[in-house]
Amino acid sequence: MTANLVRLAGATIAFVAVAVAGIVLLNFGGDTVAQSASWVYLTLAAFIVAFVVYAAIEYSQTRRFTSITSQFDTRTLVLMPIAIAFNIILGQAVGAALKIPVYLDSIGTILVGAVAGPIPGALTGLLSNVLWSYAVPPPFHSDISGAFAVVAVVIGLLAGLFSRIGWLRPRPHSDMPTLLIGGGIALAIIGVMVWYTYSRFYGDAGVTIFNPANTDPLFVVLGWAIVVLAVAAVVGFFYLLIRRRDLTVAYVVVAGVVTGIIAALISAPISANLFSGVTGAGTDFLVAAFRQAGSDIQTATFQQGLLSDPVDKLITFLTVYIILGAMAVRTKARFPQGERLVNTGTGEASA
C-alpha cells in the first residue's frame, strides 16, 4: 500500500509541476481555438510525464510494471472505446437537447476507472475530450471539450481511487442504525443540492427540461433517453437504499460530491479565462445569472462550477453504481479492480 501511495504521489507531483510550469512559461495568447489547443498540448504533456514518473518509480521498486499492465487487460481495452463513445454522445446530447445544469459526459470515464483502475480511468477521460474536439465530426463535435481534458483526467483518476478503497463495493442488508445514519446523510446532501440547484437555475421561470431551440430529431431522441436514464438513476437510488438497504449509496454520494468540487476548482479558471464562462452548455445560464447578480467572471464561473459539478458527478456516480449493480458478478470480478466491486461478505463473489 505504501509503495502504491509513493507512485501516485510522485505521478501527481509530476503532473502538477508540468501543468504549473506550462501555465507560467507558455504563451496562451491568440484566439479561443489556439488557446484551447495549448491547453490540450499541456494536458497531454503533463499526463505523459506523470505516467513516465509513475512507471519509473514502480520499476525502481519492483523491477516490473505489474500495477500498470494489470490495469490494461483485454476487457479494459474493449471497454475503453465504448466508454469514450458513451461520454461524447451523452455529453453532446445534454448540451444540445436539454436545458439542465449538468453535463453527464463522464459516465464512461467513471465506469472505466471503477472497474479497471485510476490509470485507465484517467486515460479514458483524456482521450474522450481530445477526440471530442479533434476527431469527432458534427453533430457530435465540440470546440471546447479538449480544453477541459485535464478535468476529465482527474475525474477518471478519482473514480479509480474511490473504487480501489472499496467505496463502490455493495453493502446490502446493512443494520438499520447504520443505514439510517448513512442514508440520512445521503438524502440530506441530495435534498439540499437539488433544492439549491433548482432555485438558482430555474428560479420563478418554471422547469424547462428540453432546449426549445433544438429541432434535430436525433438529439430529441437522445434527450428523451437521457431523461429516462436520469429517472432510472433516481428510482435505483431509492431501491438500493430502501429495498436492499445498501449503505454504499452514502459512499457513492460522497464520492460524487467530492469529485464534483475538485472538478469545479479545476474547470472554473479554464472556463473563465478561455471562454468567458460561455461553453454552450445549459450551465451558461447560471454564469449569466451570477454575473447579473454582481459577480465578476472569475467568481461567477466558480459559483456555477461549485453548483453544477457536484450535482453532475453525484448523478454520474449513482448511474455508474447502478450499472455495476446490473452487471453479472462474474463479469465484474474479471476486471482488474473487480474484486473491489464485489460483496464477498454475502457470498456474492461465487454467484
Domain assignment present for 18: no
Amino acid making up residue 335: F
What would the mean pLDDT of 43-64 be, rounded to a whole number?
94
Can you tell me whether residue 169 is helix, strand or coil? coil
The 10s digit of each residue's pLDDT in 120-168 is 999 999 999 999 999 999 999 998 899 999 999 999 999 999 999 999 9
Domain assignment present for 64: no
| ∠ CA 72-78-84, rounded to 5° | 95
What would the mean pLDDT of 179-192 be, rounded to a whole number?
91
C-alpha cell of residue 126: 483524456
* pLDDT for position 28: 64
> How would residue 347 be classed by pLDDT, with cut points 50, 70 and 90?
very low
> How would residue 281 be classed by pLDDT, with cut points 50, 70 and 90?
confident
Q: Give CA–CA dist 79/156, Å, rounded.
A: 14
The 10s digit of each residue's pLDDT in 114-127 is 999 999 999 999 99
Question: Residue 285 pLDDT > 90, yes or no?
Answer: no
Q: Where are the alpha helices (DSSP H) in the chain?
A: 2-25, 32-62, 66-69, 74-97, 107-116, 118-134, 149-164, 176-201, 217-238, 248-275, 284-292, 297-326, 329-333
The 10s digit of each residue's pLDDT in 214-235 is 889 999 999 999 999 889 888 9
Domain assignment present for 54: no
Question: Residue 275 pLDDT > 90, yes or no?
Answer: no
- Dihedral through CA 75, CA 78, CA 83, CA 85, nearest 10? -170
Q: Give CA–CA dist 126/119, Å, rounded.
A: 11
Name the pTM for this structure.
Answer: 0.93
Total count of domains within the chain: 1
* pLDDT for position 286: 85
Can you tell me whether residue 207 is helix, strand or coil? coil
Domain assignment present for 9: no
* pLDDT for position 205: 67
Q: Which residue has the cell 462550477?
A: 305
Question: What residues make up the domain containing 276?
Answer: 70-350
Is residue 284 within 8 A of residue 278, CB to CB? The reply is yes
Question: Residue 348 pLDDT > 60, yes or no?
Answer: no
Q: Give CA–CA dist 292/207, Å, rounded.
A: 20
Question: Residue 280 pLDDT > 80, yes or no?
Answer: no
* pLDDT > 70 fraction of the chain, expressed in percent and rounded: 96
C-alpha cell of residue 26: 507558455
What would the mean pLDDT of 322-344 be, rounded to a whole number?
91
Q: Which residue has the cell 505523459?
A: 48
295-322 in b/e burial notation, b at 16+ Cβ within 10 A?
A: bebeebbbbbbebbbbbbbbbbbbbbbb
DSSP 137: P
Nearest to 102 by CA among 290, 276, 317, 325: 317
> Which range is least confidently modeled, 81-95, 261-275, 280-294?
280-294
* pLDDT for position 349: 41
